[in-house]
Amino acid sequence: MNTVASPTTTTTLVLGRSHPLAGRSLYDWLFALLAVAGAVFAFSRYGEAMDVYEKGILIGSVPAVIWLGWFWGPLRTLMLGVTAATLLAISLYSRTPDAFGADLAAGEKVFLLKYFLSSQSAILWMSVLCFMSTVFYWFGFAGQGQDNVAQRLGSKIAWAAVFMALTGTMVRWWESHQIGAGIGHIPVSNLYEVFVLFCWLTALFYLYFEQHYRTRALGAFVMLVVSAAVGFLLWYTVEREAQQIQPLVPALQSWWMKLHVPANFIGYGTFALSAMVAFAYLLKQQATATRWWQLAPLGLLGIVLCFEPIVFRQSAQSASSSFWVVYFGISTLIVGGILAGRRAIAAKLPALELLDDLMYKAIAVGFAFFTIATILGAFWAAEAWGGYWSWDPKETWALIVWLNYAAWLHMRLMKGLRGSMSAWWALAGLVVTTFAFLGVNMFLSGLHSYGEL
């Protein structure tokens, strides 16, 4: 009698990470297909006007965009929405063509352009939405629970602000090419444009950390620094009519600008984010303090908030000096309100360990991009001025910023720096970064003086 052995079923357990393409949704692949199709269209339409570097940047941006969309899902919807709004704005402009392809005067005639989609309208909407987001985040401290309606509204409005900022930036980029031959450029060339960049980058990085750490309480603090930047942007627009698109000066007519400036402002934005998280850390740590020197973080915040009106009112014309009076008054009310409600605010903030971790990760990301930006800036300087380093005031202060955060990271990783000392250091870093970003343009002159005040 023959016995047939029955087959046995074996299960193979594979350890380790799954393939990065495994488990991708239809939405993921549709997004990737649209990114590739957009690049192909750009090559077919504008390839003849691109140099080899611009073509390389466009090719490299395709996998970068796809990876970002896959890494963080909300970016897919954001990028597709901004693309759709930008194309709508272009189509509305193109209804009345002129010698360069579109009549920009349509921005004052077509309803959607005049009130929503022209670059200046979209950026003004960004400004309003940033203020609204800040207000709702702070209202959240008066609501019930850690994730109440006001905080959720603040988060959604922050997303809307980022959407309008990016739409305004993309439309402004397109508008610059419609003014005349050789004028078009990526909108990161002056203080007005980089302040817009700073606002949406800082807000977007915060929104990622908000989702990652599952807390919205920090939005009130981070959006404060974004709103302060918006306050300067509005004053600068009125005072200098900075929204006007101007041709690039010769030194800025380089493809290096497309890489150096965005990388630089990722650093500035995340350093500012870390400083506001540090302020929240110190506030929570000293919420029960009653002596004046224990409340020093609040005083320091007051100095930072009131710095702009004290300085800029000296250079403002009488027509806009009242703006800084209002700004100063609002800043005083904010500081007083935080001081009065510090215990209730601290009770809704995340644990100190989480705040410390977020502070570290924000500085680590910022330091990496700031290092890349500094290296790119050296190559750009060699091309533009014949030397990699010239000890220009902007370069010197960029080095000071780099050394400050390099020392912070070294002390944390090698010496275990934690707690209030690291928070104070990160908060003081905002002062150093602000001077490198803005103070150099105000008080010093040099090869980088493209946005004088």
Digit-coded pLDDT (tens) for 177-228 = 888 777 888 899 888 999 999 999 999 999 999 999 999 999 999 999 999 8
Which of 71, 87, 103 is a domain's end point? 71
Q: Is 95 left (phi over 0), alpha (psi -120 to 50) or beta?
A: alpha
**Domain for residue 131, yes or no?**
no
Digit-coded pLDDT (tens) for 352-408 = 999 999 999 999 999 999 999 999 999 988 887 787 888 888 889 999 999 999 999
**Domain for residue 297, yes or no?**
yes
**Domain for residue 358, yes or no?**
yes
Q: How many other CB atoms are found less than 10 A from the CB of residue 386?
A: 8
pLDDT reported for residue 408:
97
Residue 132: CA count within 13 A, CB half-sphere:
16
Digit-coded pLDDT (tens) for 303-327 = 555 555 455 545 545 445 677 777 7
pLDDT reported for residue 258:
86
**Domain for residue 408, yes or no?**
yes
Contact 276, 218 (CB under 8 A): yes
Which of 37, 71, 105 is a domain's end point? 71
pLDDT reported for residue 63:
95
| Residue 293's pLDDT band (cuts 50, 70, 90) | low
Contact 287, 448 (CB under 8 A): no
Specify the DSSP class assigned to residue 450. S
Is pLDDT above 50 for 47? yes
pLDDT reported for residue 242:
83
pLDDT reported for residue 404:
97
**Domain for residue 424, yes or no?**
yes
Average pLDDT of the residues in 151-179: 95
Contact 34, 69 (CB under 8 A): no
Q: What gap in Å lies between CA 357 and CA 350, rounded to an integer?
A: 11
pLDDT reported for residue 450:
54
What does residue 245 show for φ and ψ, rounded to 5 degrees?
Answer: -80, 125
Digit-coded pLDDT (tens) for 340-355 = 788 889 999 999 999 9
Domain tally for the chain? 2
pLDDT reported for residue 5:
47
Side chain identity, residue 176: S
Contact 123, 196 (CB under 8 A): yes
**Domain for residue 285, yes or no?**
yes
**Domain for residue 115, yes or no?**
no
Which of 71, 102, 136 is a domain's end point? 71
The angle formed by the CA atoms of residues 256, 206 and 61, to the nearest 5 degrees, is 35
Is pLDDT above 90 for 133? yes
Helix residue ranges per DSSP H, 253-341: 256-285, 296-315, 318-340
**Domain for residue 199, yes or no?**
no
Digit-coded pLDDT (tens) for 76-112 = 999 999 999 999 999 999 877 665 667 788 888 889 9
Structural domain including 44 reads 27-71
Average pLDDT of the residues in 58-82: 94
Instruction: Report the percent of the chain where pLDDT is more than 70.
Output: 84
Q: What is the DSSP string of 220-278?
A: HHHHHHHHHHHHHHHHHHHHH-TTS--PPPGGG-STHHHHHHHHHHHHHHHHHHHHHHH
